[in-house]
Structure 1
Amino acid sequence: MNLLSLDTSTEVLSIFGSAGPKTVELTRDIDLRHSEQLIPLTDWVLRQLSLRPKDLDLVVVAGGPGSFTGLRIGMAFAKGLTASIGCPYVTVSALDAYAARFNNLCDSIIAPVIDAKKHRFYTALWKGHQRVTEYLDIGPEEFQQLIPKDQPCILTGPHALLLKNSLSHDTCLLDPSYRCGIAHLLATLGLEKFQSEGPAKEDEGPLYVRKSDAEIAKNGL
């Protein structure tokens, strides 16, 4: 299968492509300049695989949570690309992909972390393959109360260190590769989702977890 996956949910832009057994992955820490870099970097990945956009069989895009702007850019790109070439797409939570690196650690709690700004974080807790909480928008003290006291907790994801440094009683372990790209993991999870659930709906949007500041101001909330 010819597959393209991309993560624009944070400043760590990650793009993965596969053509049969051949794969290419590109990760850039570019401070949310995705509108400038996404198209040329995607084109580069496809060229390394000798693929044209019309050769793609599936596109996978990170569906959130994360940067509101980054998610919208990624979703718009995926929808526009797949509509133009008649290709299906699916969305996968970036938190799911970060946690998937540790699916074999059944004795530890895994907490992928994305900065939600205003001293809050998007996260959820996993144990092995199983997510054991909802997707959360949470502060450091709330997080500290959430994690079990009798199990090791591993923080991963691009803002794991930021949360770790915000904890008043830090007992969590830090994944040394917490800022790694996840597009290859999105590809694996996305293909599984496509095979079990089919493509995304036309009106599918990002998983924001909370409303943007603009929406809150508009609704007077």
Structure 2
Amino acid sequence: MKVLAIDTSTVIAAVAVMDDEKLLGEYSINNKKTHSQKLMGMINEIMKNLDLKPADIDVFAASIGPGSFTGLRIGVTTAKAMAYAANKPVVGVPTLDALAYNIVTSKFVICPILDARNNQVFTALYEVKDGKLERTTEYMGIPVSELVQIIRQNDKKVIFTGDAVDLHKEYFMSELGENCEFAPLGSRLQRGASVAELAIMMAKEGKLTSSFELVPFYLRKSQAEREMEKKLCGKGEN
């Protein structure tokens, strides 16, 4: 089973092609160019270098969020379009699941954190049980202070990964001390390979969908939507 996986949930653009348990190729770019400028070029390049055509791909996969609203739309739309053109199924992989999968370990609770601005993060907690990664909380968009309280209640050592590590590392160290660790730099950002491997697992479990049904998982409304609701509520009060 060949899978082409895309992750554009943050500033990282990641693409990977995996054939069951073999990683055939993986590209990642972390710079200021927009995903609309670089994503298709990356896909074309990796497919060309692997001598593959869209028809050779069995399943198309995309990281569905949470994350950047614009980035998610670009990645999901690209996967949907390619799947539709090739008449193949798609798999939507939660971004936090893929991030946690970067550092599967039985030693710590795994806590991926994505920057949600205003001292908030998108997050969830995971543990490895019987050799499998299991999410032990809901997907959350919460202040980092609230996350610390949840971790304290869990009373287990935690390893953090994700793009919000640099923003909140010192805070976590001051609040959690020796009960926190941080993933190496190469494991903190989105990887197409993690999305691809989870997609293969999900596909084998029958968790496939059509190109028409795949949608982003935003977790919460955009800032623009929240601001509009505030304005409307203010008008209603007046």
- Does the alignment reach a TM-score above 0.5? yes
TM-score if structure 1 supplies the norm length? 0.91
Q: In structure 2, how many angstroms separate the alpha carbons of the residues matched to 1:181 and 1:116?
A: 16
2:110 alignment partner AA: I
Q: What do residues 144-202 of structure 1 show as CA deviations (whole Å, max 9, x unaligned)?
A: 10103632110011222212234452432111134344211111111111121342242
TM-score if structure 2 supplies the norm length? 0.85
Q: In structure 2, how many angstroms separate the alpha carbons of the residues matched to 1:83 and 1:218?
A: 34
* Paired residues of 2:124 and 2:135 also in contact (CA < 8 A): yes
Q: In structure 1, how many angstroms separate the alpha carbons of the residues matched to 2:120 and 2:102?
A: 23
Residue 103 of structure 2 is matched in structure 1 by 102
The Cα of 1:18 is off from its aligned counterpart by 3.2
Q: In structure 1, how many angstroms separate the alpha carbons of the residues matched to 2:5 and 2:27?
A: 11
Q: Percent identity?
A: 31
* Paired residues of 2:109 and 2:158 also in contact (CA < 8 A): yes
Q: In structure 2, how many angstroms separate the alpha carbons of the residues matched to 1:61 and 1:54?
A: 17
Matched, 1:173 2:173: no
When Rg is computed on C-alpha atoms for both structures, the one with the higher figure is: 2
The Cα of 1:213 is off from its aligned counterpart by 1.8
In the TM superposition, 1:1-221 aligns within 5 A as: 1-18=1-18, 21=22, 23-31=24-32, 33-105=34-106, 107-128=107-128, 129-148=133-152, 150-167=155-172, 168-171=174-177, 172-177=180-185, 178-201=187-210, 202-219=212-229, 220=232
Secondary structure at 1:60 match in 2:
strand
User: Unmatched 5+ residue regions in structure 1?
Assistant: none
Q: What do residues 82-126 of structure 1 show as CA deviations (whole Å, max 9, x unaligned)?
A: 111111111101110111233331x41110011111221000011
Q: In structure 2, how many angstroms separate the alpha carbons of the residues matched to 1:102 and 1:190?
A: 17
CA RMSD for the aligned pairs?
1.9
* Paired residues of 2:116 and 2:122 also in contact (CA < 8 A): yes
Counting helix residues as a fraction of each chain, which structure ranks higher? 2
Label 1:216 to 1:53 Cα distance change in 2 as closer, same or farther (>3 A).
same
The Cα of 1:22 is off from its aligned counterpart by 5.9
| Matched positions, count | 220
* Paired residues of 2:162 and 2:190 also in contact (CA < 8 A): no
* Paired residues of 1:13 and 1:28 also in contact (CA < 8 A): yes
Could you tell which deviates more after superposition, 108-117 or 10-19? 10-19
